[in-house]
Amino acid sequence: MSRYYVTTPIYYVNDAPHIGHAYTTVVADVLARFHRLLGEEVYFLTGTDEHGQKIEDSAAAKGLTPIALADAVVQRYHALWKRLGMTHNDFIRTTEDRHQRGVLKLFGEITSRGDDIYKGRYEGWYCKGCEAFYPESQIVEGKCPDQGHPVQRLSEESYFFRLSRYQEPLLKHYADNPSFIFPETRRNEIVSFVSSGLKDLSLSRTSFRWGIPFPGDPQHIFYVWFDALANYITALEYAGSQDLYRQFWPADVHLVGKDILRFHAVYWPAFLMAAGVPLPKSVVAHGWWLRDAAKMSKSRGNVIEPNSLLDDFSVDAVRYFLMREMAFGQDASYSDEALIERCNSDLANDLGNLVSRTLKLLENSFGGVVPDPGSHSPRGEGLAPAAQAAWNGMVGGFKEYDFSGALSRVWELVSATNKFIVEKEPWKLAADPARRDELGWVLYDAAEALRVTGLLISPVMPRAARALWGQLGLQRDPAEESLTEFEWGRLAPGTRIAKGESLFPRIDKKAYLARLGTETPEAAKPAAPIARETNVDEASIDIEEFRKIRLRVGKVTAAEKVEGAKKLLKLQVDLGDEVRQIISGIADKYAPEALVGKQIVLVANLKPATIRGVESRGMLLAAEDAEGRATIVTFDEAVTVGATVR
């Protein structure tokens, strides 16, 4: 069985986790789950980086010992990872004995192999925020070039690592292994950084105590990055039985944020080369979550707390948002609006409604039992090709770290299934006993497409995928299935569905933003139209009369001109449980294609009429402009198709 070892960076314990940390770990978890579905034996490691000056200072500022601070913060990581449904196999803390022994062993290998370590004096700039040394030339107004943290002047005795010696071997490794650093733009940055020359690296510190003491010279403690990077092998019992180390090293992927790529793609491979340890197969860097165009970080005070998001949104919604919204490798801006939009549009409207609509149709027509598709599926007409395309897109995309693109391929299947139902009109088929077989295959295909969708979304939304399968009557968890081969038709006819709670509840955007206090201020809203004088002759109606009018949300799925009538359009309007054809006099303002996909308000209980020989079953609401042209009434955000408008 092939093996797959994926790691996250280990997180500093100076503060609680934020959404940036959660992102790296969610991506690693998604990769771990995906590779398990590919039948690989996966080892997924995360943990905490507990030594260093930053932790020592933070603890002192809080009146704690460093280990007391680490013990407290590590609990928050454990709790958050549990809440986010992480499936890591191990969690390493750098204060653990197995780690410290591993660091000493790695260092011992380096010293025993040559003269890569020597004693000298470090004179220069140190950034405590990054726990990194910077050359004079890179300091900008007393701040580090990467993150703008204040730097301090250091002058201390230090052990050095002969990094300069590894410039050529590293460049050769990058050239021989083009997939060692991903994405390519980052790879180019590293190549040019290394090409411009490498200075030896200070490997020990003497001005504070919170670290692993140097063997034979305990005045010195290990530079925190040497200590931290070693976690990827120390967790595999590198200094113990080495069982896991033999099975899983070299790692397949070290997943990191772009800010720490240099440590992983330059220092770490150089240390490993010096110790004669094989190099990891790849280092994959993602971008940053930004808030107001700045990196989200505790020191800037602009962080999003994952726990507070999880109080309001389901774990699956948060995971989906993180994976869908960020184009992997690039930066992305976090916004509450975008998260709500993903929840309401992609999850509740597109997928959630499709599930409830399909299950309802199965209940109404087949007593809640999956019908036999029989041999009636006309070749190439069913949903199998769309499902195969989604499967290819998802598997291919995930292998390339294009999670966002992969998920949009899956959503193409969701749309295709929605469209299929609209076009096949199962509610009409149900009314015609002679077409029962056709109804059977239409609903079978829709249900089977949902089974495939459940499997494809399971690495990202494990709970919703399990619940979706449960509602389809499947006892198994998609996590136990295989993604190695596309299979169509695994949903057994005769399966009894188990319709349940809606999978993706809608979020009330207004209420949510108002509670957070981030709603658009009144002054920024468009000016309210000037009220016309009330027409005193207009008779008032009471609420009961108004209630007689059934207004419903409809989605235009098709539109075309009515021949010989300049102003008329023929629209197909999806109401969730049926599709209505209506005729509307709006062609002077709207091109047919501009209407497709729009959500409108439909007077649903208007008596049918025949206009120019075409049946119209409803009327859409619109306002008349000064030229007498109609502007349709629509919604300022996506709403549930079929919902009542009051």
In the complex, which residues of this chain contact ligand MSP (CB under 6 A)?
Answer: 9-12, 20-21, 23-24, 49, 228-229, 231, 256-257, 259-260, 288-289, 295-297
Of 99 and 187, the one with the shorter C-beta distance to ligand MSP is 99
Of 228 and 639, the one with the shorter C-beta distance to ligand MSP is 228
CB 446 within 8 A of CB 422: no
Collapsed DSSP state (helix, strand, coil) of residue 537: coil
Furthest-apart CA pair in the chain: how many Å?
A: 100
- Nearest distance, CB of residue 296 and ligand MSP, angstroms: 4
- Nearest distance, CB of residue 466 and ligand MSP, angstroms: 28
Give me the amino acid identity at 493: P
Give the whole-angstrom CA distance, residue 334 versus residue 332.
6
- Nearest distance, CB of residue 64 and ligand MSP, angstroms: 18
Beta bridge partners of 569: 561, 584
How many other C-beta atoms lie within 10 A of the C-beta of residue 97? 10
- Nearest distance, CB of residue 52 and ligand MSP, angstroms: 8
- Residue 250: is the preceding peptide bond cis (ω within 30°)? yes
Beta bridge partners of 603: 551, 619
- Nearest distance, CB of residue 424 and ligand MSP, angstroms: 44
Q: How many CA atoms lie within 13 A of 620 on its CB side?
A: 32
H/E segment holding residue 362: helix 353-366
Give the whole-angstrom CA distance, residue 72 versus residue 67.
8
- Nearest distance, CB of residue 461 and ligand MSP, angstroms: 21
Torsion angle in degrees (nearest 10) through CA of 68, 70, 71, 73? 120
Of 299 and 392, the one with the shorter C-beta distance to ligand MSP is 299
Tokens of 208: 């504070």
Of 89 and 345, the one with the shorter C-beta distance to ligand MSP is 89
Of 158 and 231, the one with the shorter C-beta distance to ligand MSP is 231
Give the whole-angstrom CA distance, residue 470 versus residue 448.
13
Of 126 and 590, the one with the shorter C-beta distance to ligand MSP is 126
- Nearest distance, CB of residue 365 and ligand MSP, angstroms: 48
Residues 6+ apart with CB under 8 A from 96: none
Q: Look-up: residue for tokens 């260092």?
A: 107
Q: Are strands 294-295 and 283-286 parallel, antiparallel or unpaired?
A: unpaired
Give the whole-angstrom CA distance, residue 171 versus residue 175.
6
Give the whole-angstrom CA distance, residue 133 versus residue 136.
10
CB 48 within 8 A of CB 93: yes
- Nearest distance, CB of residue 214 and ligand MSP, angstroms: 19
Residues 6+ apart with CB under 8 A from 436: 429
- Nearest distance, CB of residue 190 and ligand MSP, angstroms: 15
Of 34 and 288, the one with the shorter C-beta distance to ligand MSP is 288
Of 259 and 325, the one with the shorter C-beta distance to ligand MSP is 259
- How would DSSP label each residue in 218-249? EEEEE-HHHHHHTHHHHTTTTTTT-HHHHHHP
Rg over CA atoms, the chain: 30
CB 357 within 8 A of CB 421: yes
Give the whole-angstrom CA distance, residue 178 versus residue 121.
36
Tokens of 128: 């405590």
- Nearest distance, CB of residue 21 and ligand MSP, angstroms: 5
Of 339 and 468, the one with the shorter C-beta distance to ligand MSP is 339
Q: How far is CA 136 from CA 80, 122, 151, 224, in A?
A: 39, 13, 11, 21
Q: Which residue is nearest to ligand MSP (CB)?
A: 257
- Nearest distance, CB of residue 257 and ligand MSP, angstroms: 2
Tokens of 334: 């976090």
- Nearest distance, CB of residue 555 and ligand MSP, angstroms: 35
How many other C-beta atoms lie within 10 A of the C-beta of residue 531? 6
Of 336 and 425, the one with the shorter C-beta distance to ligand MSP is 336
Beta bridge partners of 156: 122
Of 288 and 366, the one with the shorter C-beta distance to ligand MSP is 288
- Nearest distance, CB of residue 277 and ligand MSP, angstroms: 15
- Nearest distance, CB of residue 260 and ligand MSP, angstroms: 5
Of 230 and 450, the one with the shorter C-beta distance to ligand MSP is 230
Of 92 and 370, the one with the shorter C-beta distance to ligand MSP is 92
Task: Name which of 426, 446, 445 is nearest 436 in CA terms.
Answer: 426
Of 267 and 504, the one with the shorter C-beta distance to ligand MSP is 267
Of 259 and 445, the one with the shorter C-beta distance to ligand MSP is 259
Of 259 and 350, the one with the shorter C-beta distance to ligand MSP is 259
CB 209 within 8 A of CB 221: yes
- Nearest distance, CB of residue 153 and ligand MSP, angstroms: 23
- For the chain, report the end-to-end CA distance as a whole number of angstroms: 59
Q: How far is CA 367 from CA 311, 370, 435, 437, 470, in A?
A: 37, 9, 17, 15, 17
Q: How many CA atoms lie within 13 A of 644 on its CB side?
A: 6
- Nearest distance, CB of residue 289 and ligand MSP, angstroms: 4
